[in-house]
Structure 1
Amino acid sequence: MTEVNFSVGLDPESIQADISINCFLNSFLRESKAVTWQKSSANQEVAIVPLNNGQQLIYIPVSYHSALGIHEYQLPLKLVSQSEKSEEKLLNFNEFLQLIINDVDIVGDLTNEQKSIFIQRVVESRANTQAAIAARDNLQAIYSGELNFAQAEQGLIAGHSVHPAPKSREQFSEEDARLFAPEHQAKFALYWFAVSPSITITDSTGHYGISERIQQLLTADTQLSEAVFGKVPENYLLLPVHPWQAKLLLNTADIQQYQERGLLVNLGAIGENWYPTSSTRSLYSPGLPYMLKFSLSVKLTNSIRNLSLKEVIRGTRLQQVFDTEKLCSFGQQYASFKVMQEPAFIGLINSEGEVIAESLVALRDNLLMHTPQEEAVVLATLTQQHPLAADSLIADRVKTVASHKNISISQAAKYWFNQYCKYVVEPLFALQANYGIVLLAHQQNIVLKMERGEPVGMYYRDCQGTGYTELAYQLFPEQLIDDAQMPENFWNEDKVRRYFPYYLIINSTYNTIAAVSSRCAVSEVDLLHILHGCLKQLQSQGVQDSFCLDFVLQNATLRSKGNFFCYLQNYNENSIPDPAVIYFDLENPIAKIEQLASAKNTSTKKTVSEVM
């Protein structure tokens, strides 16, 4: 095989970093069976992609090689012919994209339409990321120092770190993105409809009904209360609507008929500004008692982001479960772990009495209402790579801890990650293993509460990603009695083993490990040892149901979502009959540590490094 020296023949200014390309390549290299790795003549790790039955090779050099698959890349790429002359050509990203999408051995047998859609979305996603970066007056501000919740949510400029098109949003125009996308630091007033109860579907659990919860928003938002005064017909409910979604709804036949009949009054865009959070469809307004999660009929990454009735009911169900006395001991043991509950929802029904999914909105408890300046940072923003190949925010916070505690950066990295395990990994696994409550904690569902740069607590959000095992049905029979209507809420062992470790371990924790290791003088193996120790300690405490914990500690592979090929095949993740088809086996390094620990091997660290 041709040996390539990437330090020769390149103008230093042409060596680039591009976080959108990094996200694409991470997903591609993780899933592609054709890729191999070798060392360059400069001892640099290089991924090699064969083309045309090996007649040509694409060389992808990395500036940081991650055993967990979260690499940092050194662009440009290089195309090398395997002919005697060993011809070489530097590749830009679009050329690379065309080469791999037309090689059947790499991507399979695709139609021209599939290829065209995929390329268009990937190119658009990259352009969206570049536009968001260019629009930032002070890009470095989201990579250094404390961020409050709103700043961190709107600081996620790249999106999913292992996805070919993490900032694709097909139905949004460029103007829509500037107005409504979090990475553009958008803020806007909501539309409000006054609606007859006869055309609504609502639920609210706990001490307040839906009208009381809406009134709480009115009381906290004086602009809104003054604007609607005298304009709401007696006994009508107020329905908040995302302004982009409002335009869609107002063009539907049902809504137009409701307006004509006086059952719905469009009050327009009024009240305080709301900030789109990292998910785009969930909005936050500092000082108000609720965040709002809307249906948004936009395809963001793998799916159209409309809520369903079953999903919003899950929010009220989870609140009911957490209100039980059985979870009191959990709350005492993990007092710094909080769930941003979704205790209520409201939406419209059509003339046939069916739910208009596009109108649904869930009310989410704003646990930061009284502390809007608290350092509460979504994990995805903490771990995202820097577009100029500088330190990530998580590296900055680790170095802050090192300075504050007067310890080395390596020591601070281990301490920081240990705190992460204590406040994130342990309580989430404890909920699953001791109570049968499954919370799918991917990077955008984990908000870390921090002080002076170190984790001191966690907020979990997004209650649609929840489920219950047999243990939960035994512990909470009254709260889950109606779940016969929603059989997908019951998670058997196979389902838990597939999804729970993917979200918490592969999606969230692997990204955390790689982000810390790449910049903080600590190996991924060292951090994996800390993770293994956290899980092992929980296991040793004698949990109620250890099947998933045992699986993560012992199984040779974990199931990983295949974002690259899911997106390539144009699947809608929320509507395919069996989402399991987009998952594949990924090697589990935690199990290797477990095997070596069981054997009491005194050279564990070195051995694990070698086998990874």
Structure 2
Amino acid sequence: MNEVNFSVGSDSESTHTDISINCFLNAFLRESKVVTWKKSSDNQKLAIVPLNYGQQLIYIPVSYHSVLGIHEYQLPLKLVNQLDESEEKLLSFNEFLQLIINDVDIVGDLTNEQKLIFIQRVVESRANTQAAIAARDNLQAIYSGELNFEQAEQGLIAGHSVHPAPKSREQFSESDARLFTPEHQTQFALYWFAVSPSIAITDSTGQYEINERIQQLLTADTQLSEAILDKVPDNYLLLPVHPWQAKLLLNIRDIQQYQEKGLLVNLGAIGANWYPTSSTRSLYSPGLPYMLKFSLSVKLTNSIRNLSLKEVIRGTRLQQVFNTEQLCSFGQQYASFKVMQEPAFIGLINSKSEAIDESLVALRDNLLMHASQEEAVVLATLTQQHPLAEDSLIADRVKTVASHKNISISQAAKYWFNQYCQYVVEPLFALQANYGIVLLAHQQNIVLKMEQGEPVGMYYRDCQGTGYTELAYQLFPEQLIDDAQMPENFWSKDKVLRYFPYYLIINSTYNTIAAISARCDVSEKDLLHILHASLKQMQSQGVQDSFCLDFVLQNATLRSKGNFFCYLQNYNENSIPDPAVIYFDLENPIAKIEQSASAKNTSTTKVVSGIV
């Protein structure tokens, strides 16, 4: 394959950390098989990337080295001659990209098209992050003090901390980004369509029909109810539409014909303003009873963000399961754990009576309707690194706890993380191990309720990322009786072991550990011991189905998603036949702690036996 040169515009560099580059390098170093590590003459950790069969080396200086792979980096990078290390050249990030993308030993045998697409997306993502940072009047505000839900959602400026292009969004123009992305602190009114029931597809579980739930929104949003007065034909349903998506929908031929026939009335952009949350496609309006999750036909990171009918049905199914008597004991034991249920959805069908995926919207319970100023912070914002290599928000909250409780920062860090385990790790594992309910809790699905800086509860969101093991089908036969129509909802043991530990442990908990350790005078090893103790306690108390818990405690490796090579190969994560191909084995430090504890117990037992 010929070497490809890229023209990617300006490439300004700084001598401090760059959070978009951090995200890229964390993904690259975690997955690359050619990287080695060494210490420099001044005792700084360096990641070493060999080029041209080892003739040249790229030095990546690390200002904070994480055993879990969530490093912080000290720019600039350096290109060094292997035979004479004094012969070196400073590398810009774009030069670094060009070098690694053309080295087959590093990235494999790629087509020129794959190289171009990858580079363009990475550069665009970095530019998007830089633009969001530049647009902030008070950047420090999202790294210190209490944030409410809206502020935290719109404070996620970097995105996925282990991804080569976490802020890529191909179909959005720059003006679209300023209008519709959360990091630009934007808000906007929804479009509303009045639609004949004959062209709608809906479902609503619980005590309310879909029209009643929409009426609840109308009652709470007086601007909307006044604006549509006498404009909605009798018996028509109201369909909320994301304004960017509205333009796309109005170009679909079936929808154009519905308009011509009077089956769909475009009421325009009206009503209260809504804030895009960290996922971009989910919107929030303080004081309204529901959040809304839309199909958004934009490729954000690894996939186009359209909902499917199976996904929105998953939301109504989960609500039905949580309404059963079997889960009463869980609710009592974990009263501070709440699910933002998605009890209803609405969308349009085409002329063949098939759901138009691009039109689907799920209604999500707004559990903060009467507590909009509560400190409720998405975990990804808590853990994101600071653009100036200062304290993350989670470090700030730990130090607040230290001050409030008059304890050392190290003690506060251990206390804070123990609270995290209690309110996040334990209830999510309990649902899986005792009820067969799998919730994929990555950093953007975990919202921590906090008081005076410490976790006191958790909200889980995104009911599309759920599944059920054999245990669940035994416990909830009535609610899951027709699940045979959606076989992907059944999670085999292999599937659980691949996904659940990745999302909860690697994606969420490892990032939490690294973010605390980087700034709070505590080692990652100390926090891993707390995590191990939390899981071990659950195991010792006994659970209904311990296979996943045992696996996390004992298996030498866990399966990790390969965001770097998935993105490099231009896979659409939601449409590849077997998503397992983008996962790889990652060393499991929890199992090392378990082995050490078991060996110590065995040794103690032998000594005691000898005394006896």
1:53-202 equivalence runs, <5 A: 53-84=53-84, 86-202=86-202
Please name the residue that 1:609 is paired with: none
Deviation at 1:599?
1.4
Find the residue that maps to 1:444 and give its secondary structure: coil
Cα 1:421/1:109, change in 2 over 3 Å: same
Please name the residue that 1:7 is paired with: none
1:446-465 equivalence runs, <5 A: 446-465=446-465
How far apart in 2 are the matches of 1:214 and 1:208?
Answer: 10
Q: How many residues align?
A: 592
Find the residue that maps to 1:273 and give its secondary structure: strand
Please name the residue that 1:325 is paired with: 325
Deviation at 1:83?
3.5
How far apart in 2 are the matches of 1:498 and 1:434?
Answer: 19
Please name the residue that 1:582 is paired with: 582
Q: Which amino acid aligns with 1:222?
A: T
Deviation readout 1:572-601 (Å, 9 max, x if unpaired): 000000100000000000000000111127
1:557-576 equivalence runs, <5 A: 557-576=557-576
Q: Which amino acid aligns with 1:456?
A: V
How far apart in 2 are the matches of 1:139 and 1:380?
Answer: 16
Please name the residue that 1:436 is paired with: 436
Cα 1:187/1:521, change in 2 over 3 Å: same
Deviation readout 1:462-521 (Å, 9 max, x if unpaired): 000000000000000000001000000000100000000000000000000000000000
How far apart in 2 are the matches of 1:398 and 1:220?
Answer: 37
Pairing 1:385–2:382 present = no
Deviates more, 1:366-375 or 1:593-602: 593-602
Please name the residue that 2:467 is paired with: 467
Pairing 1:397–2:407 present = no
Please name the residue that 1:24 is paired with: 24
Please name the residue that 2:246 is paired with: 246
Q: Which amino acid aligns with 2:159?
A: G
Please name the residue that 2:3 is paired with: none
Find the residue that maps to 1:382 and give its secondary structure: helix
Pairing 1:339–2:339 present = yes
Q: Which amino acid aligns with 1:324?
A: T
Please name the residue that 2:607 is paired with: none
Deviation readout 1:132-166 (Å, 9 max, x if unpaired): 00000000000000000000000000000000000
Q: Which amino acid aligns with 1:20?
A: S
How far apart in 1 are the matches of 2:186 and 2:53?
Answer: 48
How far apart in 1 are the matches of 2:341 and 2:93?
Answer: 42
Deviation at 1:86?
4.3
1:484-563 equivalence runs, <5 A: 484-563=484-563
Long gaps (5+) in structure 1:
1-12, 605-612
Deviation at 1:15?
2.0
TM-score by length of 1: 0.96
Q: Which amino acid aligns with 1:97?
A: L
Q: Which amino acid aligns with 1:571?
A: Y
Cα 1:90/1:256, change in 2 over 3 Å: same
TM-score by length of 2: 0.96
Q: Which amino acid aligns with 1:519?
A: R
Q: Which amino acid aligns with 1:217?
A: L
Find the residue that maps to 2:482 and give its secondary structure: helix
Q: Which amino acid aligns with 1:34?
A: V
Identity rate, percent: 91
1:416-431 equivalence runs, <5 A: 416-431=416-431
Please name the residue that 1:408 is paired with: 408
Deviation at 1:14?
5.0
How far apart in 2 are the matches of 1:135 and 1:577?
Answer: 40
How far apart in 1 are the matches of 2:257 and 2:198?
Answer: 14
How far apart in 2 are the matches of 1:336 and 1:355?
Answer: 37
Deviation readout 1:97-124 (Å, 9 max, x if unpaired): 0000000000000000000000000000
Please name the residue that 2:224 is paired with: 224
How far apart in 2 are the matches of 1:100 and 1:321?
Answer: 49
Q: Which amino acid aligns with 1:292?
A: L
Please name the residue that 2:260 is paired with: 260
Deviation at 1:206?
0.2
Q: Which amino acid aligns with 2:126?
A: R
Q: Which amino acid aligns with 1:154?
A: Q
Find the residue that maps to 1:369 and give its secondary structure: coil
How far apart in 2 are the matches of 1:59 and 1:69?
Answer: 17
Long gaps (5+) in structure 2:
1-12, 605-612
Deviation at 1:84?
4.2
How far apart in 1 are the matches of 2:277 and 2:156?
Answer: 9
Please name the residue that 1:3 is paired with: none
Q: Which amino acid aligns with 1:81?
A: N
Find the residue that maps to 1:503 and give its secondary structure: helix
How far apart in 1 are the matches of 2:45 and 2:159?
Answer: 25
1:355-366 equivalence runs, <5 A: 355-366=355-366
Find the residue that maps to 1:355 and give its secondary structure: coil
How far apart in 1 are the matches of 2:85 and 2:548?
Answer: 54
Q: What is the CA RMSD across the aligned residues, in angstroms?
A: 1.2
Find the residue that maps to 1:600 and give its secondary structure: helix
Deviation at 1:17?
1.1
Please name the residue that 1:37 is paired with: 37
How far apart in 1 are the matches of 2:61 and 2:565?
Answer: 23
Pairing 1:279–2:274 present = no
Cα 1:338/1:85, change in 2 over 3 Å: closer
How far apart in 2 are the matches of 1:85 and 1:56?
Answer: 9
How far apart in 2 are the matches of 1:600 and 1:364?
Answer: 48
Deviation at 1:251?
1.1
Find the residue that maps to 1:565 and give its secondary structure: helix
How far apart in 2 are the matches of 1:83 and 1:91?
Answer: 19
Find the residue that maps to 2:345 and give its secondary structure: strand
How far apart in 1 are the matches of 2:22 and 2:601?
Answer: 36
Find the residue that maps to 1:520 and give its secondary structure: coil
Cα 1:288/1:85, change in 2 over 3 Å: closer
Please name the residue that 2:315 is paired with: 315
How far apart in 1 are the matches of 2:471 and 2:256?
Answer: 47
How far apart in 1 are the matches of 2:85 and 2:151?
Answer: 53
Find the residue that maps to 2:600 and give its secondary structure: coil
How far apart in 2 are the matches of 1:568 and 1:470?
Answer: 36
How far apart in 1 are the matches of 2:464 and 2:352?
Answer: 26
Q: Which amino acid aligns with 1:35?
A: V
Deviation readout 1:270-304 (Å, 9 max, x if unpaired): 00000000000000000000000000000000000
How far apart in 1 are the matches of 2:499 and 2:258?
Answer: 42
